């Protein structure tokens, strides 16, 4: 099984989560909800993997989420 890494990051200014992947060219999405973004990413990744000649049924996604926040006193 092929594993592809997807980075999920929070954009504080835009107030949205976005994803990108060095493993899957063209995979760039955003959403106000992390859960919704994960689901959208799964569907888009499947289509992009097919275009790359990969079998989506033989692939898994590894999600890495990052959100930075300022600490208030």
Domains in the chain with CATH codes: 2-66 (3.30.2390.10)
Does residue 73 register a pLDDT over 70?
Answer: no
Between CA 35 and CA 42 the distance in angstroms is 11
Q: Give the whole-angstrom CA distance, residue 71 versus residue 49.
A: 39
> pLDDT confidence of 70, banded at 50, 70, 90?
confident
Helices (H), 1-73: 34-51
pLDDT of residue 8: 98
What would the pLDDT profile of 14-45 be if each residue is shown by its tens digit? 999 999 999 999 999 999 999 999 999 999 99
**CA distances to 2, 28, 38, 61, 65 from 7, in Å:** 17, 10, 10, 10, 6
Q: What is the pLDDT of residues 43-60, one digit of tens each?
A: 999 999 999 999 999 999
Q: Enter the pTM of the model.
A: 0.89
List the beta bridge partners of residue 5. 62
């Amino acid at each position: 099984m092929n594993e592809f890494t997807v980075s999920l990051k929070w954009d504080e200014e835009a107030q949205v989560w976005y994803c990108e992947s060095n493993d899957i060219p063209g995979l760039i999405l955003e959403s106000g909800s992390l859960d919704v973004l994960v689901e959208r990413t799964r569907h888009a990744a499947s289509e992009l993997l097919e275009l790359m000649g990969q079998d989506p049924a033989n692939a898994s996604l590894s999600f890495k989420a990052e959100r930075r926040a300022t600490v208030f006193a």
